[in-house]
Copies of this chain bind each other. A is one copy, B any other.
Amino acid sequence: MGPRERRSREREETRSRILDAAREMFVQDGIEAVTMREIAKRIEYTPTAIYHHFRDKQALIEELCLIDFRGLAQAFQKIGRIEDPIERLRRIGLAYMDYALEHPSHYRFMFMTPKPLLPASSFGISDGEPDTHAYAVLRATVAEGIAQGRFRPEFTDADELAQVLWSGVHGIVSLQIVKGGKGEHICWCDPRETGRAMLDVLMRGTLRTPTAA
């Protein structure tokens, strides 16, 4: 615990302060309100200082989202203990929608914004990024259901079925995030309700033996 450790600990500390400031602005005012200058001002540094901790703005926000998405990964892990793969799917869907609706800014950045093509496993976690990992969990669960013969016979491709299910819940939350409520003439229903309805529809539409309503 010489001065070397202290230095790198201090470095990590300002790094965290940058992330925390960015998070606050990010969730409060949305992604377009996050400017490097304002993040810097909030922590009383110059904008340039941030570039010693993050390659650019994209990388900063990406890391922020990745960190915060670990919450979803943990929720998935807990769900993973449920035996019945179909019940597991249902719970995964609910957890996913809950997370999206509670972190709309994060969700928007991760799943509603095209990335400028990140250089393929840009940092440490390799292909363990939360989104890819989350898809892997979904796909595995779907595959388990297929193997158990729980789905209708036309669903043989785990990727296709997983993507249909993902699209269903993604559709609900993304439409809600971008159009929900506000000035629209459309009378938007409670997303938790339509979300549950969607999940029911997806299940009844894909399962061989429909569960009792």
Task: Spell out A's residues near B (CB within 8 Å).
Answer: 30, 111-114, 117-118, 120, 127, 132, 135, 154-155, 157, 159-161, 163-164, 166-172, 174-175, 177-179, 182-189, 193-194, 197-198, 200-206, 213
Question: For residue A159, which residues in chain B have a CB less than 8 angstroms away from its CB?
Answer: 186-189
Q: Which of B132, B157, B182, B213 contacts A154 (CB 8 A)?
A: B213
Q: Nearest B residue to A170 by beta-carbon distance?
A: B171
> Complex formed: what's the CA distance from A203 to B187 in Å?
23
Q: Nearest B residue to A172 by beta-carbon distance?
A: B167
> Complex formed: what's the CA distance from A163 to B160 in Å?
23
> Complex formed: what's the CA distance from A197 to B167 in Å?
11
Q: Which of A155, A161, A177, A194 has the most CB of B within 10 A?
A: A194
Question: For residue A114, which residues in chain B have a CB less than 8 angstroms away from its CB?
Answer: 30, 177-178
> Complex formed: what's the CA distance from A186 to B200 in Å?
26
The 8 closest A-B pairs by CB, nearest first: A171-B171, A205-B205, A201-B205, A167-B171, A204-B205, A167-B172, A170-B171, A160-B189
Q: Are B167 and A198 in contact (CB under 8 A)?
A: yes
Q: Are B132 and A164 in contact (CB under 8 A)?
A: no
Question: For residue A202, which residues in chain B have a CB less than 8 angstroms away from its CB?
Answer: 201, 205
> Complex formed: what's the CA distance from A201 to B159 in Å?
15
A133 to chain B minimum Cβ distance, whole angstroms, is 10
Q: Are A174 and B135 in contact (CB under 8 A)?
A: no
Q: Which of B117, B135, B170, B187 contacts A186 (CB 8 A)?
A: B135
Question: For residue A174, which residues in chain B have a CB less than 8 angstroms away from its CB?
Answer: 112, 170-171, 174
